[in-house]
Every structure is written in C-alpha cells, then in structure tokens.
Structure 1
Amino acid sequence: MPARRLPRPHRFDVLLAAGGLLGGLLLVAAGLGTRRSDDPITLFDGPWPVLVPLTVMAGCELLRRTAPRTALAVAGVTITADLVTQGNVSTILMFTDVVYAAVLYGPLASARRIQWITGLLTVAGTVVPFAVWRVPEALLIGVIVGVVAYGPAATGWIVRDHRDAAEAARLRAEQTALLAEADRAQAVTAERARMARELHDMVANHLSAIAIHSTAALSLDDPATSRRSLAVIRENSVEGLAEMRRLIGILRDGSGDREPAAAPTLDGLRALVDGARANGLDVSLDADHGTLPTPVEFAAYRIVQESLTNALKHARPGRVTVRLVQRDGALDLRVLSPCGHRDGPRAPGSGAGLVGMRERTALLGGTFAAGPEGSRWSVHAVLPLAEGESA
C-alpha cells in the first residue's frame, strides 16, 4: 500500500517560510540575536547554532495550513531549543504565526485546547518566576509568554470565529436562494396549472358543442336541423372566441391596467344551465344554499360547468340533474347524467376535465369522486366552507 503523501504547501505558506528564513539569515549575518553570548541560559554560543531552530521553524511554516497540529508540535520543541542559543527574532515571529495558524486551520477541539494551554502557560510564566525571584521584573516573563503564545492563539480564535460566522451566513444565503428558487418554480407550476384549468373550463364547453352540432349537421340531411346546428355553432364560436381574446389580453398585458373579469359565482348557474339546454341537454337544477365563500362558489361553478360539458360530449339522451346542498359546514355538489352507449355524434375527450375538477376540490381540502352509479354517471364533490374562507 503506497504511503500517504501530504498535500502540497499553500503558496502563501511557502512565501512566509522563505521570508522568515531569509530575514533570520540577515539577522544572523548582522550579528543580531535575542540574547548575549554571556547570558547564563545560552548553552550554544555563536551564530551557527541559531540556524538549526531557524531552519526547522521555516519548515513548520510550510505545514501551517496542511498539517497545523504537526507544525505546532514541532514548533514547540524548536522554540524551546532556540532558548539555549543566542536566539533569533525571526524564529520567534514564525513561531507566533504557527500558533495562530494551528488555531485558525486546525480542528475545533485542538483550537480550544491550544487556547487553554497557552493561557495556562502565560499564567504560569507570570506567577512562578515572581514567586521564585520576588522582583517585579520577573513579571515580564509572563508578558513575553503571553505575547508569543497566548496572543497569537487568541487572535486566531477571533479570526476563526468571524470566518465561521461568515461561512454560516453564506450557507444561509445559499439556502435562502434555493428555497426562493423552489418557491418560484412551485408558483410557476401552480400558475400554469391554474391557467390550464381556466382555459379548459372556459373553452371546452363551447368547442364540445361546436364539435357535436357540426357532426350532426354533416351527418343529417335535414335543412331545419342543419340550420339549428349552425346557429348553435355560431353562438358557441362567438362566445368561445370572446373568452379566448379576454384571456389572451390578460396574459399579454403586463402593465396591470387591465382588470381580469370577475370570477364566476353560483349566481350564474341558471345562465350556465340555460346554455347547456340550448346545446341540447335536458338539465334540471336544484340549488339550496346560502352565502358561500368566493373560492367555494368559483370551484363549484367550474365543476358544474365541466360536468355539463362532459355530459354534452359523452352522455346518452336523458335527464341531467344538478344538485347543490349546503349542510354540515360544507357544500355538497352532485351532478348525475345518463351513462351508456351514445348513438349520436360525440366529441373527443382528453380526460383533463376530471383532473381539473379533482384539483379544484383538493385546493379547498374537499373530497371528489366520479364514476358510474348504476345506469348513471355521478360527479360528487364536497367543498368545506371553512377551507374555502381561508384559501
């Protein structure tokens, strides 16, 4: 199994390492160190022992982003070794950057531990020397430890906190954008479905009548029947064309100046039934209800309209009954039409009518059923009034 290779150092880390190493070499060449050669702590005199911690610390800088914990562990040993030489300011500065990077780029648990460890070292570096030597100058050791160790760790924690907050804000913004896009797509889909239902309900009735009566006019050699069929065809084509123009005008007019036509209500059921009778249906209407919410009236009107259109296209001759009853906080709507083989001409159907009626009922939280009941075809919808008021 091949050994795992460490990722390549970041370009900025390479520049930091090169700059720190070059700066340290210039300080060594100038004979500038952090301690004198006669300092008791200096065990290795001369400029050359300083180069070992300097070079190792520069190598730690290369790992500050790709392996921050390893870099900090090696840097801790290196800065301790630097204490027994004449020292180098560049080594100390690179160590502070390694501590800062370990908190910023390392795991969260390690970042917290580094905060605690450097804080305890600062306290210990302040209390212990003062307790041993009893001179105010001993407190400077704690200050130096705080500046070299705890200061970079605290700075890295602050930067990390701001970075994480910015990342969380970015993720929230992306999530908000995704939700907005989902809402927009859902709104577009719902609007397209609504337009499809409206277009179907407004025009299908007229086109069905035109198809049936034109078929009758072509198949029957009776001038009187043909004239009546042509009159029905003309009336339905004119009404359908007017409704199509109105709908197209609303869709094209983006200025908002054109008001859409008022939604049909159950007050127009009588005219709807009269139109169905003019198209050849034998329709009876029984409506027993009070004041209803507008969404319920609109849905009920469209369901009755589509039921009569389906009866015109598919039902055999016979009585079609429309019954609306308000009870138990709901409007109970039922349309019954003769079911069976139709001898005369019939118009083709797409099946979208039942889908539209079911969707209208579901939007109000009601129930819908359509199917044969003995020798009759039944359309039954229950529209809750409470749902209608809140829709």
Structure 2
Amino acid sequence: MAAVVPLGLYQTAVHQLFLLSCSLIPGMLLRHRDLALQREISSAADHLAYTRAVAREMHDLVAYSMSQAALRAQRAAADSTYPAEAQKEFSAIAAAAVDALHELRLVLGPLRRGQRFWPNSSLTHPDALGVDLETAVQAISDDLAASGFSVTFHSTGDSQCSRLQAATLSRVAREMGANILRHGTTYQPVTITLARRPEQVRLVMTNGVSVATSHNLPASGTGIQGMRERLAAIDGTLATLKEGDTWMASATVPLSPSSSTFPETP
C-alpha cells in the first residue's frame, strides 16, 4: 500500500530545497571565484619574484662588466703613451659605457625593488625624460661616423614633442643606429633625417646592407618588434623597407596640442 504524503508537507519540502539550493550555489560560486583569485594573486607574486630575481642578476652581471669596460677605457684615454686618436676613441668608449650603465640602472632599478614604471614609458622618472631629440639623434650620427660610416644628418622644422615622445624617439633612434652598426656596410652612405612638422615628427634612417657584412656584435633579433612596441605606446608607427642593398627605417609620431604634457604620477 503506497504511503500518502500530505500536499502541504511536500510543498514545504520543495520550498526548503529551493531555498537551500539558492544559498549553496552562490556560495559555491563565490568560493570558486575566491580560489581563482587566490591562484591569480599567487601567480602574479611568483612572476614578480622571478622578474625581480632576473633584474637583480642582469644588473649585477652586466653592471659589473660595463663598469670594468668604462674604467679600463677611462684609464686608456688618460694614458699619454697612446696616440691622440686612440685616446679619443677610448674616451668615446668610456662615455658610451657610462651612459649604458646609467640607463641599465634606470630600467632595472625599479624592477629590483618591485616598483612600477611610468605610464607608457620604459623610463622610471620624469627627470629622465628631459631629452633633446635633435641632440640625441646628432649623438647617434656622430657615433656612426666615428665607427667608419659616412653619415649625413638633416634636421628640419621646429615643432616640439612631449618629453615622453622625445624619449621614445631617442630610444628608437638608438636601435636604428645599432642595427646600422650590426648590419650596415661602410661602403654606402648613411642618411638620417629628423623632420619636425606641426602635425607629426618623423625620423628616417637609410643605409646600405650587405650579406658579406661581418661583425661580432650580439643581436637579439627583436629590435624591430621592440621599436614598434615603443612607438605604438605613444600612437606612433614604424615602417621598414629593403630595396636591393638599401635599408630604410622610418618612425612617425603624431603631434597634438596636449603633446607637451606629462602623465600624472600614478
């Protein structure tokens, strides 16, 4: 004989089960979300610890080597037994090593301390953004000329870009110059053009290339991508072109009325 369950009790049980499910399901979802957040936080902490460890190792190893290079070049530059031209070259090497060491510390220092960079910038302090773009590009032109290239540098216009734009373009110019040193041939001239128009700033470098060019300079293979990423952060673009044995790289950054401003401190 089948048991008879009063309808009222059945409805009450269903209602209680419904209420129980309404409380359990959100709780389970919240616990799942909490566990996911904890995993993300743990992963971010591990990534930060790894980044700081790599930055520490890079700083200690590279800073030591750059310091040794700078000191030895400075001593050689002050040694009167060397010819005057050799002393001049040693002095330039020492200056380049000191400059590289300074920038290495600017970039890696905050990473070692777990600090964040300034928005859209690879630099760490607004004072470091005080870059005169024409002077920076002229310095690269001089370095290339000292390395045996025949260089022509043209600078036109007088429109001013922001300190962040100038700093970014100076970094891009350095990478362009480094590519010329690595892959260029001294048998063809190098042209550098810096055009500062009211609506944009454009930096163009052209040089000859040769498959026979040999050097012992290390190359990461990511220079062009790095330049594109730097420029994209300030709404700029990079164009490259190879025709025959001529290579051209062109960086363009748009200017705006607010280009002279600097992002607020985060």
**Residue pair 1:316, 1:341 contacting (<8 A) in 2 also:** no
After superposition, the Cα gap between the structure-2 partners of 1:372 and 1:311, relative to the gap in structure 1 and judged at 3 Å, is same
2:172 alignment counterpart: 303
Equivalent position of 1:376 in the other structure: 246
Q: Which moved more, 1:157-166 or 1:330-339?
A: 330-339
Structure 1 residue 277: Cα displacement: 0.9
The superposition leaves residues 315-359 of structure 1 with CA deviations (integer Å, 9 ceiling, x where unpaired) of: 2332431323446x5433322233347879663433232221122
Distance 2:213 2:23 in 1: 80
By how many angstroms is 1:365 displaced?
Answer: 4.4
Q: Counterparts of 1:354 and 1:267 in 2: how far apart (Å)?
A: 23
Q: Does 1:337 align with 2:198?
A: no
1:321 aligns with 2:186: no
Secondary structure of 1:349 counterpart: coil
Query: CA separation in 2, counterparts of 1:255 and 1:371?
Result: 38
Query: Which letter does structure 2 place at the counterpart of 1:162?
Result: S
The 1:284/1:239 distance shift into structure 2, 3 A limit, reads same
Q: Cα distance 1:375–1:264, how it changes in 2: closer, same or farther (>3 A)?
A: farther
Q: How many residues are aligned here?
A: 224
**CA, structure 1 residues 378+237, in 2 after alignment: closer, same or farther (shift >3 Å)?**
same
Which residue of 2 is the match for residue 241 of structure 1?
Answer: 101
Residue of structure 1 in register with 2:29 after alignment: 168
Residues of 1 paired with 2:262 and 2:105: CA distance?
A: 31
| Rg (Cα) greater in structure | 1
How far did residue 253 of structure 1 move? 4.4
Percent same amino acid among aligned pairs?
A: 20
Structure number with the higher helix fraction is 1
Letter in 1 for 2:230: R
Q: Any residues of structure 2 matched to 1:1-391 within 5 Å, and which? A: 78-80=2-4, 121=7, 146=8, 148-174=9-35, 176=37, 184=44, 223=83, 225-253=85-113, 260=125, 262-264=127-129, 267-274=132-139, 276-278=141-143, 280=146, 282-288=151-157, 290-317=159-186, 318-326=189-197, 329-340=199-210, 347-385=217-255
Cα distance in 1 between the residues matched to 2:136 and 2:167: 15
**Unmatched tracts of structure 2, length 5 or more:** 74-81, 117-123
CA contact (8 A) 2:131 2:167 kept: yes
> Structure 1 CA distance, aligned partners of 2:209 and 2:115?
48
**Shift in CA distance, 224/340, structure 1 to aligned 2, threshold 3 Å:** farther
Q: Distance in 2 between matches of 1:153 and 1:375?
A: 82
Amino acid paired to 2:194: R
Contact 2:162–2:262 under 8 Å retained in 1: no
TM-score normalised per structure 2 = 0.61
**1:267/1:248 CA distance change after superposition, 3 Å:** same
How many Å apart are 1:245 and its aligned residue? Answer: 4.4
Q: Please give the alpha-carbon distance, in whole angstroms, between the structure 1 residues aligned to 2:115 and 2:16.
A: 56
- C-alpha displacement of 1:162: 1.2
Deviation digits for residues 335-391 of structure 1 (CA, Å, limit 9, x no counterpart): 223334787966343323222112213334443222324553211123344798899
3-state secondary structure, aligned to 2:29: helix
Q: Secondary structure of the residue that 2:3 maps to in structure 1?
A: helix
**Closer, same or farther in 2 for the Cα pair 1:350/1:225, shift >3 Å?**
farther
Change in Cα spacing, 1:158 to 1:251, as seen in structure 2 (3 Å) is: closer
| Shift, 1:267, TM fit | 1.7
In structure 1, list runs of 5 or more residues that go unmatched: 1-76, 81-94, 96-117, 122-145, 214-221
| Separation in structure 1 between the aligned mates of residue 103 and residue 167 of structure 2, nearest angstrom | 17
Instruction: Give the 3 Å change call, closer, same or farther, for CA 251–390 of structure 1 in structure 2.
Output: closer
**In 1, distance between residues paired with 2:262 and 2:143?**
37
State how far apart, in whole Å, the 2-side matches of 1:344 and 1:169 are. 61
Cα separation, 2, equivalents of 1:343 and 1:151? 87
> Aligned equivalents of 2:90 and 2:216: distance in 1?
16
Cα distance change, pair 378–324 in 1 and its aligned pair in 2 (3 A)? same
Between the two structures, name the one with larger relative contact order (CA 8 Å, sep ≥ 6): 2
Structure-1 separation of matches of 2:239 and 2:229: 12
